[in-house]
A = this chain, B = another copy of it.
Amino acid sequence: MTDKIPRRITPQRQLILEALRKADYHPTALELFEIARRRLPRLSLATVYRNLELLVANGTVRRLELGGTQARFDWDPAPHYHVRCVDCGRVDDLHGLLIELPARGSETADGYELLSHRLEFAGVCPKCRGHREQSRPRGCSI
């Protein structure tokens, strides 16, 4: 891999991207691997990581580094925020919410030049709201 731009459309690449686009949530690399492997059993997890990195590099998909430990991926280039369920870890889009924030290029009191921001919500997803009586899981440090 000389630079970071995908040159070919391999079955693996196609399959991974398709799995991401079909998911109605934001899957992790491992989740995509397991979906794609159903159709390409010899697929390797390293290939999934490599392809996701390439697709991120060329702007096709977006890597989300939200709470929790694993990266999640997003095929939708439109600006939007995300909600993460504190119970099950599921990540969904948050539609119809736009917030007034400092513009790109503005400067802070400390002399930082602001470039972008990341806003993520934590909440309880519809499914987990049903059976919510359990002990609190770790990782809610938001």
Contact = CB atoms under 8 A, between A and B. Distances in A.
Interface of A: 56, 62-65, 67-68, 83, 85-86, 92-97, 99-102, 108-126, 129, 140-142
Given A83-B110, A112-B126, 18 more contacts: A64-B141, A65-B67, A65-B141, A83-B112, A83-B114, A95-B110, A96-B109, A97-B102, A99-B100, A102-B121, A111-B125, A112-B121, A112-B125, A114-B121, A117-B119, A117-B122, A117-B142, A119-B119
Contacts of A68: 65
B99 A126 contact: no
A68 B86 CA distance: 21
B62 A141 contact: yes
